Each structure stands twice: as C-alpha cells, then as structure tokens.
Amino acid sequence: MLKIENLQARIEEKEILRGINLDIKPGEVHAIMGPNGSGKSTLASVLAGREDYEVTGGSVDFLGKDLLELSPEDRAKEGLFLAFQYPVEIPGVSTTNFMKTALNEKRKYHGLDPLDAAQFLKLMKEKMKLVQIDQALLSRSLNEGFSGGEKKRNEIFQMAMLEPKLAILDETDSGLDIDALRIVANGVNQLRSKDNSFLVVTHYQRLLEYIVPDYVHVLYKGRIVKSGTKDLALELEERGYDFIKEEVDQAIA
C-alpha cells in the first residue's frame, strides 16, 4: 500500500523529518505516536502534499506510484485521505455540496460518470448512519461554527464518503470528549477492511483503545525510534515518552 523509505523533509531551514522508513500493507492499521514536536503532523502533511514542506530526500511509493510526484488532488483521487487536525471552514458551502463536488471529481478521474442527485443522496444517507452524523449538520456551511467534535465527526463522514485506500488521521482525538471519541473511533472501525489501511497519528494512547492498531511506531526527532505492537502504546501510557527520549539521546551521545 504505502512504502516510505528514508523520507526527509524540512520547513524553511528546519529539518523535521530525518529519514522515515515505514511499510504499510493493505488491511493494516499503523499508529504513529510521539512527543510534541517530533514530526508526527509533518509526516501527515508531507504525505498529503502540503507545499509548506520541502521534501529533501527519500521516496514514497503509494500503490505502485511515486506519491511525491503527484499533486495533492491527484494523491486524494488515487485514494489517500487526510483527516485534518484542524478542519478548515468554508463559508457558504455546505458539507453536502462540498462532498458532491469532491466525489464527482474523483469519479471523473477514474473515468466514471458523476452521481446524480438521487444516487448521491442514497450514498450520503448510508454513510451518515455509519458515522452517526445529523443531516442538519451537513446542510450547514462546512465547519463554520462546528464544535470540535462535530468537525472531527465531519472528517470521518467525508472519509466514509470518499472510501479511501489509505486514511491518515492526524490527531483526530485532540479536543474530543470520550463520547465523541467513541463515535469517531466507531466510524473508523466500521470502515476497516482487508483492503484499506489507516495511519493513525496521535499523542495519546487513549484513541488506540478504540482503534486497535496492528503496529505502533514512536516518532522522535524526525525518526521512528521504536516500533512494536499495541502493547508499546500501553507502555508509553504508563511510562511517558521520557524513557524513549533517554534511550535515543543516550544512543546519540
């Protein structure tokens, strides 16, 4: 699905990713954890193609294509989805209208006819149920005046609509109370299948109680310094990031 080799990236003159290696196979859920400033969100942004970051080395293969060569919109249309940490407001554009445009752009790319109003509505109803989102919210301007929980749930709804091959969740748990977290996680779990994969970026182990990962990686100073199973997340929860920081810093020293 996704193969990242020695990926390096910087913003302005600051090196943030210093050689990331990661291999995600279909059906797998990988979690990226790490202390603040370790490069977690940068990794998500670089994969999605945000141009504030300059890739200075390495390669990323996504379903046989050179991901870094693709425009952000083509990455999306190839099946990469980023659930934003801070979803953006677009006044006057409803989620429904937004999704209709997005979905039909994707269909066009794959040589399919656009969905007509009835087909689109049917699909929407189906996905709304999946992520327990209200019609009223989808008729409002995208993310405008949404609560934190509504924004994140809306991201998961969009993910459900676009049916990506690889979904990257960038700190989707931040700012959510336990009920919202459960609903969001539940939505993600419903969408898990043997064909699609997830990369869950989070600071806390809490989310991983609900979205159980196959692998957990710890990112620190722009590198993956430790990988393991979900037990690693539990260990981090118990001991904090300090023990890893110490290990790494000692090794460097």
Partner 1 sequence: MPEQQDDILEEITSSEYKYGFVTNIEADEAPKGLSEDTIRFISAKKNEPVWMLEYRLKAFQHWQKMEEPNWANVIYPTINFQDIIYYSAPKQKVSPKSLDEIDPELRNTFEKLGISLNEQKRLTGVAVDAVMDSISVATTFKEELSKVGVIFCSMSEAIQEHGELVKKYLGSVVPATDNYFTALNAAVFSDGSFCYIPKGVRCPMELSTYFRINAKNTGQFERTLIVAEEESYVSYLEGCTAPMRDENQLHAAVVELIAKEKAEIKYSTVQNWYPGDKEGKGGIYNFVTKRGICAGDHAKISWTQVETGSSVTWKYPSVILKGDNSIGEFYSVAVTNNFQQADTGTKMIHLGKNTRSRIVSKGISAGKSNNSYRGLVNVAKNATNARNFSQCDSLLLGDKCGAHTFPYIEVKNNTAVVEHEATTSKIGEDQIFYCNQRGMDTETAVALIINGFAKEVMNQLPMEFAVEAQKLLAISLEGSVG
Exactly one of 106, 151, 152, 223 binds partner 1 (CB under 8 A); which one? 106
Tokens (6 digits) for 193: 């299948």
Tell me if 158 contacts partner 1 by CB under 8 A: yes
Tell me if 52 contacts partner 1 by CB under 8 A: yes
In the complex, least distance from residue 144 CB atom to partner 1, rounded to whole angstroms = 10
- Binding segment for partner 1 (CB under 8 A), chosen from 11-19, 31-39, 42-50, 181-189, is 42-50
Tell me if 51 contacts partner 1 by CB under 8 A: yes
In the complex, least distance from residue 22 CB atom to partner 1, rounded to whole angstroms = 20
Long-range contact set of residues 88-93: C-beta below 8 Å, sequence gap at least 24? 88/142, 88/143, 89/141, 89/142, 89/143, 89/144, 90/141, 90/142, 90/143, 90/144, 91/141, 91/144, 92/141, 93/141, 93/142
Long-range contact set of residues 123-128: C-beta below 8 Å, sequence gap at least 24? 123/161, 124/96, 124/99, 124/161, 127/157, 127/160, 127/161, 128/157
Amino acid identity at 111: G
Tell me if 88 contacts partner 1 by CB under 8 A: yes
Tell me if 54 contacts partner 1 by CB under 8 A: no
Tell me if 68 contacts partner 1 by CB under 8 A: no
- Angle (CA) 88-93-98 rounded to 5° is 80
| Rounded distance between C-alpha atoms, residue 203 and residue 192, angstroms | 22
Tell me if 162 contacts partner 1 by CB under 8 A: yes
Our CB check for partner 1 shows the closer of 77 and 153 to be 77
Which residues have C-beta within 8 Å of that of residue 41, sequence separation ≥ 6? 85, 170, 171, 201
Tell me if 97 contacts partner 1 by CB under 8 A: yes
Tell me if 49 contacts partner 1 by CB under 8 A: yes
35: enclosing H helix or E strand: none
In the complex, least distance from residue 216 CB atom to partner 1, rounded to whole angstroms = 25
Our CB check for partner 1 shows the closer of 116 and 231 to be 116
Exactly one of 6, 23, 109, 239 binds partner 1 (CB under 8 A); which one? 109
Our CB check for partner 1 shows the closer of 70 and 225 to be 70
The count of chain residues that interact with partner 1, using the rule CB under 8 A, is: 32
Our CB check for partner 1 shows the closer of 29 and 44 to be 44
Question: Residue 21 — φ and ψ, nearest 5°?
Answer: -125, 130
Tell me if 73 contacts partner 1 by CB under 8 A: yes
In the block, which residue shows the tokens 């999704």?
A: 99
Residues near partner 1 (CB under 8 A): 48-52, 71-73, 75-77, 81-82, 84, 87-93, 97-99, 101-102, 105-106, 109, 141, 158, 162
